[in-house]
Chain A
Amino acid sequence: MNALNITKGTSSKSAYNLRSGHADLNERHTLAVLVANEPGVLARVIGLFSGRGYNIESLTVAEVDHQGHTSRITIVTSGTPQIIEQIKAQLGRIIPVYDVHDLTVEGPSVERELSLFKVSGKGEKRVEALRLADVFRANVVDSTLDSFTFEVVGSPEKIDAFAELVRPLGLSEMARTGVAALSRG
């Protein structure tokens, strides 16, 4: 039985039932939430996720329209289709939320994240780190005699991959911004 395509009258109609029976159907969605840039709005959004037990994989927020006092919150979350629908409906109830877009289903979109990596090491490892950085089109934003700080921009997967590769080369610290995303076109 497909969770999205229940034949009428043949099954119980409990969405809870669908949730627990199909835990493997978890999906990852990127939501763009346009909000009034007023105090407490981020607390409302985060409080909704913690209060109702939803996942936040990443969250970014900044003002995007100074005159219109509008901020854009980009949330990457995961859950079954029912949970994702609930999350969107619950976000839509928050009074200072103007609009909720599910970029994952509303057609193609682009996702980018910025990350900083501090890699400490000497000799061959240092050279290898630089070579990798080149492959990933990372920028060197700081360098000392025994460390480099790289800036990598790209999809979260690309950043994950870079992290994997530089870890054995002396990765000592990293910082990620979380995803910013826009629909294409």
Chain B
Amino acid sequence: MAAHVSGIFPTSIQNSIKSSKVLVVGAGGIGCELLKNLVLSGFHDIEVIDLDTIDVSNLNRQFLFHKQHVGRSKSQVARESALQFCPQANIVAHHDSIMSPDYGVTFYQKFSVVMNALDNRAARNHVNRMCLAADITLIESGSAGYLGQVTVIRKGSTECYECQPKAAAKTFPGCTIRNTPSEPIHCIVWAKHLFNQLFGEGDPDEDVSPDSADPELRDQTQGDSTSQNGSSSQSTAKDSTTNGNGSLPAANAAGNVERTSTRTWAQSHNYDPQKLFSKLFHDDIVYLLSMDKLWSKRRKPTPLTWETIMAQQNEESEDSSDGVIKDQVLWTLPQCLQVLSTATAECSKRFQALPSGDHLVWDKDDQSSMDFVTACANIRAHVFGIPQKTRFDVKCHDSLDDGSEFRVVADAEQLKKIQDSASAETPAATAADGQAGDSDEDIQMVEADESSPSAKKRKTSNQDSDQPLKKPRTQREDDDVVLL
């Protein structure tokens, strides 16, 4: 390897490479490239850690993995493949979370340098703090779409990963998601929450039932909000399970009467898709309609019934979809119902097979989970007169990514507070609709920066007028493109 052939590197660099021990955190797109570059450069003492297993959608860029490796541990296969490039290397693979308490300060202190090749902020923050505590140099990297970045972090010499505040998480008021969606994303977020309520880790902040504490409802009355609103319209709710029955206590501040009701309800109805459909897209909508104030200036939602939709089915002609991949075909409403049936059956089967207390983990690469969310988002979009989205488009939304920073807050006031606290920041020029690979919610270089973040934006003149991509170094103030 390069450091083991004299004459390639200057001697001092050659010796440093040979005597270093390095840690690579993450064996995804960047991690695979890193491992290759490290072993070929002559680093012979490497540890790599990754919690993940290999998925077919990784193979277009995580080149240490091939089709026959799908389902296996990323760190272990990455080790095997990298060893083929340099059989003499000593590579230790950990199929584990770097956030596990097993990896303490003494673990970090074994290394000359630590390299982060992660895809989420929580793990980045953790490794950043561990490296500060262990006083070890950290090389932090990330990529999203056509963009990428790398930074060196060293205690006492540079800023750390958390010195600069990150862009505020994208937030939606809970009442928009639960009561008055107006954009496709609101329906997608709602559908993902529904998935988690039914099969996943039911987060109380991700309630999907109508929110009777919607601040809009108290605008004109100015009365004491919580208890009054909690029961204001309850008598009109047909299905008592929607928001508790009449004998339940009043809603709390978030308007939730009975937080776990959706899952309990679904379980008691054996995940019957038709009953689930009736509750979500008919009864809950009828309940929402009873909150008249919400609809004084909005298009009213339309409750749906299963039978009416299925009756339309035969009237529709098959559209041709030549040259379009299945994911990019917009499903008709009857198709959504069919998908909902199949996906609900599959997800509930898997969920019920788990030991009690365990739950499914959201994964947008899982067929049934994505089908479920796409179908529910589109049915809800139909109810509210919002444009529907293909499965392909739904999957593009970074709200569905692991470690995503999307949050739903209880109400508009809380949202305002969050936005004010992040006031001066320009909204991220996010690469959300252009994530090729290891989508990175918190990549910093796509965020507010007066210079253009991307090579795509540069001028194309042949003269000297090309603008630098990033802040130019002083001696190149008016020069051509500089890719730092």
Indicate, yes or no, whether A interacts with B. no
User: Which A residues lie at the B interface, using CB under 8 A?
Assistant: none
User: Which B residues lie at the A interface, using CB under 8 A?
Assistant: none
